[in-house]
Structures are given as C-alpha cells and as structure tokens.
Amino acid sequence: MSPIVTISGGGIIGNYISSRLNNNNIEAIVIEKSENISYIDENIRTLTLNSFSKKLIDDLGISVKFAEIKKIKVFDGEGSGKIDFSSKEINEDNLSYVVFYNELQSQLQESVLNQTIFGNQIKELNDDREQNYCTVLLSNNEEIHTKIIAGCDGRNSNVAKLGLFNETRGDYKQTALTFTAKANLDNINSAYQIFSEKGIFAIMPLPETMGGATHTIVWSIDNKKLEGENAEDYINKNISYFENKLNTEIKIHSKILSFNLSNHYFKNYISGSSVLIGDAAHSIHPLAGQGINLGFADADAFCEEVIKAYEMSIEADRHLILKRYEIRRKNMNLLMLKSMDFFVNLFKSNNLYMKLLRNIGLSSVNKNQFLKRFFINHAAGKNSL
C-alpha cells in the first residue's frame, strides 16, 4: 500500500482530512486504533462549531442536525460582571452551531469507510529523508509506504511519541461533566455561560428535542470539590445555584459523561514526514468550545497545502507542505490556548483584586464595540493571524 498521506486516528479531524483529500484525488488512509463501532445510538455529547467549521463540513456534503446560537450571555456568578454577544454585531445570522458529536463522527467515518483500517496502530516509523518517503509498520506487521504521516490521534498522540516531539503539558485540575437536560430558557437560540465558585457552567440548545431534553450542559468543576463525592451527587446538590441564576428549573435527562481537563502543545508540529493536527497538536479547556474548531482550521490549512502542492507536481516537496501548514497554524493555536488559560485562572482566583478585575473587565469589554467585535469574530472563526 502506498498512499500519499497516512493518517493515524479516525476521530473527527482524521476522518475529515481523509475525506477531503480523497475527494481531491489524493490517496489518504486512516489507521484507527478502535474497532469499527457505531456512534449513532447515543447522542449526549455535543460540539459547538463556528461558521468556518460548519462550512467545511457542508462543503464535504456532510449534513447533520444543528441548533443555531444567535446570542451568548456570559456572567460572573459571584459579581456583577457580564458580557453578551450577538450575531447581529458581526452582521451574521448565527454565532455558532451546536451539533451532536456522535452524529458528526459517524457521518464522517461513513464517508471514509473504504479508506480506514480499524483495530490497528502504527508500531514503527522509518523515515527516508533523502527519498522523501517513510515506511510505516502497523501492529499487525503490515507495511505501508507513504509520503506524509498525519498524527490526528488525539491528546496522547502515538505519532508525537514515535516522532519524539517536544511536548509541554498542563493540568487544569478540573473535570468536565456533560449531559442533556430539560430547561425553559427565554430564548431558544441563546447560550449562557456562568463563571462561579461552583464551576464554569455552560448551557446551550440541543439540535433537536429528545424525549423532552432541550439543552446540553458542559460543567467544569475543580477536582478538589469532587473529592469523595460522585459527579451525580455534586450536580444534584449544586444545580439549584444555576437554576436561580437562570430563572428556570433544570432537569437532568441523560447519563453524565465525565472528562479530565488538561492542556498540551508542542514546540514544533513537524518532524521528518510526521505532522501533528487537531488535538494531537494541542488541547485546550472546553470553556469557549474551541477545541474542534482549532482542529478544523488546522485540517483545512493542511489539506489546502497538500492539494495545492500536488496540483503543481506529483513530486511535491513534503517538507515545504508541512512547514507552510505549521507556519499558518502554530502561533494561532498557542494564542488561543494561552487566552483560555488566562480566563480559567482569572475566574478560579478568590483574590479580591482579581475579582474586581473580572467584574470591571467583563463590563468594560461589553461597552466597547471594537473589542466585542474582535472577540465575536474570533469565536466565529473569522479572524486569523
């Protein structure tokens, strides 16, 4: 087998890249560690896509249900700081779109089923830098000759380990709990985010009402608060705080999924024929719902560079392709990661001055149209460096 691109990891980003490259007659295969499983049965986890990511999946012909978000209201539960964003402020119909993770993953997987090897992973990489190709040995001892290895294998990337990439890792010491719920909020197209000592609480509309569930919740909680207590008990004890803030009853409607929150990034995204993309290259706090959007922006830049180079020559220079991708994406991703960390720390702090800063900060940004438009455009995927 000699595909031009071998992708490690058939998550949303790996499958998107495979689909787009194959549609452009560039052979790409996916090596996925898990067996071929159906994702469609259980729709609990959601993703918030910005307009840029939504357009990328539309352009592939992937059609998934979505809920439109036209307004986002963010407030500090402990103080008076608040900020609200509206799609009208950037002359767009919507700020973002909530989709079911499993539905999107299942449709993308379906689109590249014939180009995916399940239940397998890369065991060894032998790079021939002079010949401009690499020999990949899989765990079933099958050999693949390829030009580029795209590491799309998530936050514990195997490609990063095999390529000896230089990693920086942090731990937010928080857990994100996510579940669906029934709530009765004023505006169905609004998302709300509350920063408080009980955690960072985000509530957004679901793509469709499921047996009474209307909203999806992502609640990030300090691990210390969860010590000696199970997640469900913590939620049951503390949800009334947010019910009061939002002036609605919130009824849990699904099982509760739990994720440990950490961040990581790499000094370089490329090593020989290997390149890191999406969560393999960087992971961030879910508070702004930007993880998959950064991954889609990476995937778009990578595909554009590969397609452009192969349109010009079948002997495309892989180092140039990968370098261009890295230059386009690395600083942008780092900026987003650092900004998220700043917000997490700002809202974690009990220091009086920090509390004052966030109250004044949120309210002043709210009054400043220029800054507001800057933040909204970033969230909507309209700004780049």
Ligand X SMILES: Cc1cc2nc3c(=O)[nH]c(=O)nc-3n(C[C@H](O)[C@H](O)[C@H](O)COP(=O)(O)OP(=O)(O)OC[C@H]3O[C@@H](n4cnc5c(N)ncnc54)[C@H](O)[C@@H]3O)c2cc1C
Which of 69-77, 235-243, 291-299, 365-373 is the region at the interface with ligand X (rule: CB under 6 A)?
291-299
Query: If binding is defined by CB under 6 A, does position 324 make contact with ligand X?
Result: no
* Residue number, 80 or 384, with CB nearest to ligand X: 384
* Residue number, 120 or 316, with CB nearest to ligand X: 120
The first and second tokens of residue 274, run together, are 């290997």
Q: Report the candidate in 220, 241, 197 with the shortest Cα–Cα distance to residue 349.
A: 197
Query: If binding is defined by CB under 6 A, does position 109 make contact with ligand X?
Result: no
Residues contacting ligand X: total by CB under 6 A: 31
Query: If binding is defined by CB under 6 A, does position 291 make contact with ligand X?
Result: yes
* Residue number, 13 or 316, with CB nearest to ligand X: 13
Query: If binding is defined by CB under 6 A, does position 151 make contact with ligand X?
Result: no
Taking CB under 6 A as the criterion, the residue among 199, 272, 286, 381 binding ligand X is 286
Least gap, CB of 340 to ligand X (angstroms): 11
Strand bridging mode 148-151 / 5-8: parallel
Least gap, CB of 179 to ligand X (angstroms): 10
Least gap, CB of 195 to ligand X (angstroms): 16
Taking CB under 6 A as the criterion, the residue among 4, 289, 358, 372 binding ligand X is 289
Taking CB under 6 A as the criterion, the residue among 106, 293, 322, 380 binding ligand X is 293
Query: If binding is defined by CB under 6 A, does position 77 make contact with ligand X?
Result: no
Taking CB under 6 A as the criterion, the residue among 250, 295, 333, 336 binding ligand X is 295
Residue 86's CB is within 10 A of a number of other CB atoms, namely 15
Which of 74-82, 124-132, 165-173, 283-291 is the region at the interface with ligand X (rule: CB under 6 A)?
283-291
Residues sharing a CB contact under 8 Å with residue 90, sequence separation 6 or more, in sequence order: 373, 376, 377, 380, 382
CA distance 319 to 165: 16
Residue 237's CB is within 10 A of a number of other CB atoms, namely 11
Which of 11-19, 108-116, 242-250, 348-356 is the region at the interface with ligand X (rule: CB under 6 A)?
11-19
Least gap, CB of 114 to ligand X (angstroms): 17
* Residue number, 299 or 316, with CB nearest to ligand X: 299
Strand bridging mode 28-32 / 46-50: unpaired
Query: If binding is defined by CB under 6 A, does position 259 make contact with ligand X?
Result: yes
Partners of 191 in beta bridges: 72
**Residue with the CB atom nearest ligand X in the bound state:** 11
Query: If binding is defined by CB under 6 A, does position 5 make contact with ligand X?
Result: no
Least gap, CB of 63 to ligand X (angstroms): 19
Give 288-345 as a DSSP string: GS-HHHHHHHHHHHHHHHHHHHHHH-TT--HHHHHHHHHHHHHHHHHHHHHHHHHHHH
Query: If binding is defined by CB under 6 A, does position 380 make contact with ligand X?
Result: no
Per-residue buried b or exposed e for 318-331, using 16+ beta carbons within 10 Å of the residue's own CB: beebbebbbebbbe
CA distance 157 to 163: 10
Helix (H) or strand (E) holding 365: helix 352-367
Q: Report the candidate in 354, 358, 351, 336 with the shortest Cα–Cα distance to residue 290.
A: 336
Angle at which helix 352-367 crosses helix 369-379, to 10 degrees, equals 90
Binding site for ligand X (CB under 6 A): 8-14, 31-34, 47-48, 121, 152-154, 158, 176, 178, 218, 259, 278-279, 286, 289-293, 295
